[in-house]
């Protein structure tokens, strides 16, 4: 099983010391138009030299350099002549392994801290103001620099807040330039990459498209058909568009219309792929089958299971129409690859698949997004001419509206929810909040309450509006929507959607809630 990924010649390797920072650093490097990859800290100098990196960045990490089992670098790495930037733990490790001293402070520094340049700030910090605000998170601190290094900044609890040895092209900062709360953070990263390490700013979305297309062509050669399941989401859409650019009509997409999509979504997928992009598309209208199997099913896990199973059956049957398909296109992203641990394994979480495709399908995988972060996937989508509605689509669960209807899922309940959900989406977009809010949608509860409309007593269902902010869906907070917006959504839903007489706003964060209701 191979995967078609573009691998540019120039790479910056981000050495992961076990905190959450490595991914963020890798993204910031790419924002500086330099391709980056994350590697484990136990690679040897030979292994690293073999990758011929343009530079190394040592990430932060949760340990103290003094504890047993604290991660180290192969010391030979410091003699390879590769430019190195150490961040937080990475900077302490440079000091510790090269003969300086890392002391245990009386107090650490957490959160916003003022850093002051020493002298002209050396090569790394030259040009920055005398003092600026950064984000720190450390207990230990470098107290003495190694021989031939100089200290170029201080902070209240870091006598050496930045150090460097221009001869060896090794630099370190105690703060986290990768987080947005650090002023001039990206400037520090850019200074290191472009000016000190001599990296070319050549990683652009245009280059990603060109290199990915070349890699897909190389993987698939001149023959063989590929199949791609479209979910309507951005990942499968961009993967399909890239593969189509590479192999044209040898790609067939399958879109399973479960009847559980949002209002207008199926039409849009067909419109975008078949009509605008000219991609061969099998549009399977399978709603009847899904509703039939969902009859009487109310327990959330049972619903998910029914939907997942039916999806696989329908997909397999559709794929029966493309006998010679040898390749399966998947929208696996770089964070999934990193989470799988090895950086090379082609493990796909069923959660990320379209409804969870079975693993015994005998295909060679084509995964053109394996090296990309989500924001890059969106940029590639735009570069390929996909519409904003798809490129900026919010995450949507595989089982669709099925897990946003509490109780039985029927044509009628789906229709009520689709209508209310369309109003919620329209109003959030009209208020200009759609890119700030991670997910926003409506949920239909299976209770009824009494109301009054005109002179009539009503006894109908409530709609719950859910809108959350998040970075990664692991944690989330309820969005502080303006009252006027909530009022507008509430009025419209009650006036326009038959069968609904009350609107509530969900003010539960995750944890303890989840984003979806089921």
User: Catalytic amino acids?
Assistant: 88, 176, 178
3-state secondary structure of 132: strand
Contacts of 97 (CB under 8 A, 6+ apart): 72, 73, 75, 78
Please, which residue, 18 or 395, has the CB nearer to ligand XMP? 395
Based on the shown chain and the rule CB under 6 A, indicate whether residue 399 belongs to the binding site for ligand XMP.
Answer: yes
Please, which residue, 71 or 399, has the CB nearer to ligand XMP? 399
Please, which residue, 472 or 498, has the CB nearer to ligand XMP? 472
Piece of the chain touching ligand XMP by CB under 6 A; list 32-40, 110-118, 336-344, 507-515: 507-515
| Shortest separation between residue 398's beta carbon and ligand XMP, angstroms | 3
Based on the shown chain and the rule CB under 6 A, indicate whether residue 400 belongs to the binding site for ligand XMP.
Answer: no
Piece of the chain touching ligand XMP by CB under 6 A; list 33-41, 220-228, 273-281, 393-401: 393-401
| Shortest separation between residue 143's beta carbon and ligand XMP, angstroms | 44
| DSSP codes, 101-118 | EEEEEEEEEEEEEEEEE-
| Torsion angle (degrees, nearest 10) of CA 312, 259, 269, 388 | -110
Based on the shown chain and the rule CB under 6 A, indicate whether residue 468 belongs to the binding site for ligand XMP.
Answer: no
Peptide bond before residue 97 is cis, with ω within 30 degrees of 0: no
What whole-number distance in Å separates Cα of residue 459 and Cα of residue 420? 17
What whole-number distance in Å separates Cα of residue 499 and Cα of residue 496? 10
Radius of gyration of the chain measured on its C-alpha atoms: 26
Query: Of the candidates 398, 400, 402, 462, which one interacts with ligand XMP according to CB under 6 A?
Result: 398
Beta strand residue intervals within 286-363, DSSP E: 325-329
| Torsion angle (degrees, nearest 10) of CA 28, 31, 33, 34 | 20
Based on the shown chain and the rule CB under 6 A, indicate whether residue 473 belongs to the binding site for ligand XMP.
Answer: yes
Task: Give the strand pairing for 158-165 and 251-257.
Answer: unpaired
Based on the shown chain and the rule CB under 6 A, indicate whether residue 514 belongs to the binding site for ligand XMP.
Answer: yes
Query: Of the candidates 8, 159, 395, 407, which one interacts with ligand XMP according to CB under 6 A?
Result: 395
Based on the shown chain and the rule CB under 6 A, indicate whether residue 301 belongs to the binding site for ligand XMP.
Answer: no
Q: Quick one: which H or E segment has residue 450?
A: strand 449-453
Based on the shown chain and the rule CB under 6 A, indicate whether residue 433 belongs to the binding site for ligand XMP.
Answer: no
Binding track, positions 341-380, relative to ligand XMP; x by CB under 6 A:
----------xx----------------------------
Please, which residue, 53 or 399, has the CB nearer to ligand XMP? 399
| Torsion angle (degrees, nearest 10) of CA 239, 244, 245, 250 | 140
| Shortest separation between residue 267's beta carbon and ligand XMP, angstroms | 21
| Shortest separation between residue 473's beta carbon and ligand XMP, angstroms | 4
Q: How many residues bind to ligand XMP according to rule CB under 6 A?
A: 12
Question: 């399958």: which residue's tokens?
Answer: 254
Residues that bind ligand XMP (CB under 6 A): 351-352, 395, 397-399, 439, 473, 510, 514-516
């Amino acid at each position: 099983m191979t995967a078609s990924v573009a691998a540019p010649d120039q790479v910056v390797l981000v050495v992961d010391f076990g905190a959450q920072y490595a991914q963020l650093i890798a993204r910031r490097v790419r924002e500086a138009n330099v391709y980056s990859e994350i590697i484990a800290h136990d690679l040897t100098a030979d292994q690293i030299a073999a990758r011929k990196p343009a530079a190394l960045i040592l990430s932060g990490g949760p340990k103290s350099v003094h504890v047993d089992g604290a991660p180290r670098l192969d010391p030979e790495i410091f003699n390879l002549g590769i430019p190195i930037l150490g961040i937080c733990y990475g900077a302490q490790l440079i000091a510790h392994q090269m003969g300086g001293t890392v002391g245990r402070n009386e107090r650490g520094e957490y959160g916003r801290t003022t850093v002051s340049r020493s002298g002209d700030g050396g090569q790394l910090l030259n040009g920055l103001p005398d003092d600026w605000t950064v984000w720190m998170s450390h207990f230990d601190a470098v107290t003495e620099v190694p021989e031939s290094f100089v200290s170029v900044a201080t902070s209240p609890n870091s006598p050496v807040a930045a150090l460097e040895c221009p001869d060896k092209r090794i630099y370190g900062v105690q703060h986290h330039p990768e987080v947005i709360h650090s002023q001039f953070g990206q400037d520090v990263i850019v200074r290191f990459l472009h000016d000190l390490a001599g990296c070319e700013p050549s990683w652009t979305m245009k280059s990603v498209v060109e290199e990915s297309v070349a890699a897909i062509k190389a993987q698939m050669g001149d023959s063989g058909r590929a199949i791609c399941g479209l979910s309507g989401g951005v990942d499968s859409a961009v993967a399909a568009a890239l593969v189509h650019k590479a192999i044209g009509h040898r790609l067939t997409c399958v879109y399973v219309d479960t009847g559980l999509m949002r209002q207008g979504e199926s039409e849009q997928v067909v419109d975008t792929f078949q009509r605008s992009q000219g991609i061969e598309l099998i549009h399977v209208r399978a709603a009847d089958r899904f509703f039939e199997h969902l009859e009487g099913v109310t327990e959330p896990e049972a619903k998910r299971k029914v939907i997942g199973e039916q999806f696989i059956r329908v997909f397999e049957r559709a794929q029966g129409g493309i006998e010679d398909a040898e390749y399966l296109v998947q929208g696996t992203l770089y964070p999934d690859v990193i989470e799988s641990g090895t950086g090379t394994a082609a493990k796909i979480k069923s959660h990320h698949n379209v409804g969870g495709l079975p693993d015994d399908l005998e295909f060679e995988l084509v995964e053109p997004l394996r090296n990309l972060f989500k924001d890059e996937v969106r940029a590639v989508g735009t570069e390929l001419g996909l519409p904003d509605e798809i490129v900026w689509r919010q995450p949507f669960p595989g089982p669709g509206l099925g897990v946003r209807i509490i109780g039985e899922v029927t044509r009628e309940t789906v229709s009520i929810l689709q209508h209310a959900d369309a109003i919620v989406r329209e109003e959030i977009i009209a208020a200009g909040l759609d890119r700030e809010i991670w997910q926003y949608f409506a949920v239909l509860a299976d209770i009824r309450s009494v109301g009054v409309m005109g002179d009539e007593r009503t006894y109908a269902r409530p709609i719950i509006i859910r809108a959350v902010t998040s970075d990664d869906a692991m944690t989330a907070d309820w969005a502080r929507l303006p009252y006027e917006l909530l009022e507008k959504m509430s009025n419209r839903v009650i006036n326009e959607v038959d069968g609904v007489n009350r609107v509530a706003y969900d003010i539960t964060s995750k944890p303890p809630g989840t984003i979806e209701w089921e």
